[in-house]
Structure 1
Amino acid sequence: MTRIRMSDRVFLALESAATPQHVGLLMTLAPPAGADPGPYARRLFERLVGAPVAAPFSYRLRPAGAGRFSRSWQVLADEDVDRSHHVRRHLLLAPGGERELLDHVALVHARPLEPGRPLWECEVIEGLAGGRLAFYFKVHHALTDGLGLQRSMRRMIGVDPLDEGTDAPWGAECGAGTPEPAGGEPTGAGGSAAGLGRAALTMLAGLRAAGDPARAVPFVVPRSPVNGAVGTTRSVVTRTYGLDRFRVTAKAAGVTVNDVLLSVCGGALRRSLLELGRLPERSLTAGTPVSTRRPGDTTTANAFALTVMSLGTAVADPLERLRTVARSSAIAKRELGGLPQGSAGLYGALFTWPFVAQNLLGAGGATRPPYNVVVSNVPGPAVQEYVAGCRVEGLHPLGSVCHGVRLFVVARSGAGRFDLSFLGDGALPVPLDEVGDLVGDELRCLERAVGRTGAVCR
């Protein structure tokens, strides 16, 4: 039996039929040119089914099915994990295009994981146009964060196109992190009373300076269509851009790639909300996860702090919006970095637990959330990746939404690509396909603004 860390219980507390709290990824794979995809899909499925299951993927809630009220994990033996439930095959409906794939993934991603079983599932998806296949994987956020999921995937992903073998991401080298001792959080993760006080003072200082348009403060957010209660359906949209486009733009403007990401997302949302006639006067804000992993930490356990940054949606000019976002980002990072060592997670906890309380009391979606959307940026390796002899064409992480925050955007860089994923409530008034297209338009606007030749802003 392993005690569930307090920081991980956040995601169990937010869990409901309408708000499943798992993270996931969608990976599209291309077999060698001219090869029959059938044997590749079959071989991948068979190896995944036959792979051993280790912690934390052997954990289930104790008592089984207790859900948000569980306080400990029961560790199952490898033979007690039902592979037929966790590893599946799916054949897409014709014509097997992007829309059919994303509609299927949205349907599966909307379903909660069964609390009486280990909290993960995957599918090998066949029937994609062009002889491709896909791999979809979801894991409860109480077990891992986005970066931890990426670490698990390193067992499955290689760099040799001739190596047709693969290991499962739930294998023995994953590492679940340090279990919580009986007394509470581990010393390094829990921080101190002084750290908590410092985090609270930092938040109060932000409240006093809330008039600064670049200052983003938890719960000081405008009401917008991307906030409110969520239903039981989801919408998924993906886009892929050249990573150099973001890097060159960031370098020319003297900002970071993440600043460019936040700015183009803000510009896309601004234009979409303007079209709806529902653009707030105050800029929308983004909850942005920041990794707190120490060097050499190879575990998959949750290890991040949340901070809040402006999306600059109140700023019409793309370059001025980018400057506003960059200044907001610098303020947030400076304040987070100024906290005592080991206390960064406490800043996010100060507004995460009140947000959880909103949802537990049924007020989520009716009251103001701590931020309007989530925007996460997960780095990947620079080299081309392969799975069982298939080229990785795209790897799109997927987040989760909850009452109050109806949109989650994730970027993943790797092999010269910048893969973006948009996950939203199925009834979101802002069309995600349109938002995805507008992100590309906003990137071109920034490229032109910083003087990159050939960029055309619509």
Structure 2
Amino acid sequence: MSQKLSFLDRSFWITESKANPKHVGCLQLLEMPEGSDPKAYVGALHEEMQGFARACPPFNCRVRAVTIWPLGLQPVKHMQMDYHVQLHQVEDVHDRPALDEFIARMHETRLDHDKPLWQYHFLYSPSQQVFAIYARVHHLYGDGATLVRWFQAGYLDEPQNTGFVPVWALKRLRHQKRQQYKRMKRFWITLWETLLTGKDLLVIFTRLLLRLIRINRHYMPVPFTGTRTVLTGQVKAGRAVATFDLDFARVRALARRTRASANEVLLTAFDIGVHRLLQDHGHVFTRALYTNMPINLRKPGEKTTGNRIAIVPVQLAHDESDPYLRLRQIIYHHRIVKQAAQRARPSAFSGYTIVIQAIALVFEWLHISDWVKPIANVLVSNIPGPKQQKYFKDSKLLACYPISTQTPGGGVNITLMTYNGTANIGMVCCNQQIKSLQPLAEYCREAFEMLEASIDDPSLSIDDIGEHSDEVPLSIVSDH
């Protein structure tokens, strides 16, 4: 019997194409035990991992489908481990641009639909003690938080040479749903919740309409009114990937000093970085860029399990050369959206997110994303990771960079995972117009340092990043 799929799960399968695969991945850097021979150690580790051919759900399941419509997940009889666990030799694991380019080439290809939708790639250099693992799994299996939780379960708090079990072979407890109410009572409660959710959805879309006709400007951005750039539009084949680190203790310290959240500090750095990247390509802007960002929908003090988030557009900064003033703009726009989310029922904002993202997926599926404005220019996700050192068997995990799927409508997808006091950041975009994201990684790092320094030195300002007032004639990028 096959496992059921939700509507959102199915959407990742239906809208997948060769140009835009719907898997997420992570690049993990590890240090093997001291004195190990790299080729022998990684080769033995690869062979050992291939021996775990009895996978547990969903890693032993393929998608059962009729034409393009997925019916559910169905276990396979035999796992082809030479496909799921592979070994690659690279010239230099420490050459980050070259490693990112290697990962980008693997990340742009689709997973085999006739097999369970995951892979582990071991990468090593014969002369180096550090090796890498690039793991990827289809988004249909779960959201980012779920996938990170699964992969974290495959790591240890202490090095262990025997008895190690990789994530795909770990047995997970299945939580049974408790029957809290009698059937009739549960029916009326569900009906009442549905009516309240419908009312809140109506309020959300009414307020968006009022903002669209410029009656209520203090509300969330209207979907599909974002700023077109060279990065937005119909997603095509090919990917650019870049990874870098930030000291998360410094991020939190700066957030405290500026009465901001860590997300708002990072958004400011990413906003400046993206502007500089686009300015390198000659773009001029008369309006702000937008980000898609997960918003926590839990009420204060609410302690519930599962996902309660909405993916909503947030306006970024514009027309300020002072990094600190750009941060204040982003704080203002970000908190307008958070306040709107807190005023609605979580189920209503989740419904709103599904509707908007489904429309974007349909635009992508119909290949008309070039004809409509994007929801946003950048998607930023912040995933909490382990706070202490972790090990893959007896190898020390040095860093773990999440690399997400490409969002409908294009843009840059930036995912950050905090691990052992460091923010490991992975970025991905379509490489048809911008061949490398390495400059963006450096620009974001420099922008954070400038923002940090500007708090004590108000004279610091950003060089020209392509922003101009409405009086200046539009350049390459036009929103009219």
State the TM-score, normalized to the length of structure 1: 0.87
Structure 2 Cα separation of the partners of residues 165 and 40 of structure 1: 17
Secondary structure (helix, strand or coil) at the match of 2:153 reads coil
Aligned to 2:165: 167
Q: Paired residue for 2:63?
A: 61
Which deviations, in whole Å up to 9, do the C-alpha atoms of 1:365-421 show, x marking residues without a partner? 331222222111111121122212222221000111145213211111111111111
After superposition, give the CA deviation of every residue in 1:210-246 in whole Å (9 maximum; x if it has no partner).
Answer: 6659853321211111202232111110011111111
Number of the residue aligned with 2:23: 22
Contact persistence 1:378–1:413 (CA under 8 A): yes
Give the counterpart letter for 1:29 in structure 2: L
Q: 1:233 to 1:100 in 2, by over 3 A?
A: same
Matched to 1:167, the amino acid is V
Could you say if the C-alpha distance between residues 128 and 321 of structure 1 is closer, same or farther in structure 2, counting changes exceeding 3 Å? Answer: farther
Partner deviation per Cα, 1:285-325 (whole Å, 9 max, x = no partner): 11113467995748xxx774312212325543211111111
Kindly, what percent of the aligned residue pairs are identical?
Answer: 23
Residue type matched to 1:28 in 2?
L
**Which residue number corresponds to residue 445 of structure 2?**
440
Cα drift, residue 174 of structure 1: 4.3
What is the correspondence of 1:359-398 to structure 2 with a 5 Å cutoff? 359-398=364-403
Instruction: Indicate how the Cα distance of structure 1 residues 234 and 253 shifts in structure 2: closer, same or farther if over 3 A, else same.
Output: same
One-letter amino acid of the structure 2 residue matched with residue 432 of structure 1: L
Structure 1 segment 55-454 matched on structure 2, within 5 A: 55-63=57-65, 66=67, 68-77=68-77, 80-93=78-91, 97-127=95-125, 130-161=128-159, 166-174=164-172, 192-209=194-211, 212=217, 215-290=220-295, 297=305, 304-429=309-434, 431-451=436-456
| Cα pair distance change 1:330/1:148, threshold 3 Å | same
Tell me which moved more, 133-142 or 167-176: 167-176
| 1:448–1:457 Cα contact (<8 Å) kept | no
Aligned counterparts of 1:248 and 1:218: Cα–Cα separation in 2:
33
Q: What secondary structure sits across from 2:371 in the alignment?
A: coil
Tell me what 1:8 maps to. Answer: 9
Structure 1 counterpart of 2:152, one-letter code:
R
- Separation in structure 2 between the aligned mates of residue 43 and residue 304 of structure 1, nearest angstrom: 42
- Assess if the C-alpha contact under 8 Å between 1:47 and 1:167 holds in 2: no
Offset, 1:4: 1.5
> Can you list the C-alpha shifts for 1:118-175, whole angstroms capped at 9, x where unaligned?
1111111111764211111111111112211111112221221455653212234346
Aligned counterpart, 1:183 = none
Aligned residues: 442
Give distance in 2, aligned partners of 1:214 and 1:255: 20
Structure 1 unaligned blocks of 5 or more: 180-186
Deviations 1:50-109 (A, max 9, x none): 223111122211138x4x4223222334xx222121111111135762233211110110
Q: TM-score, length-normalised on structure 2? A: 0.84
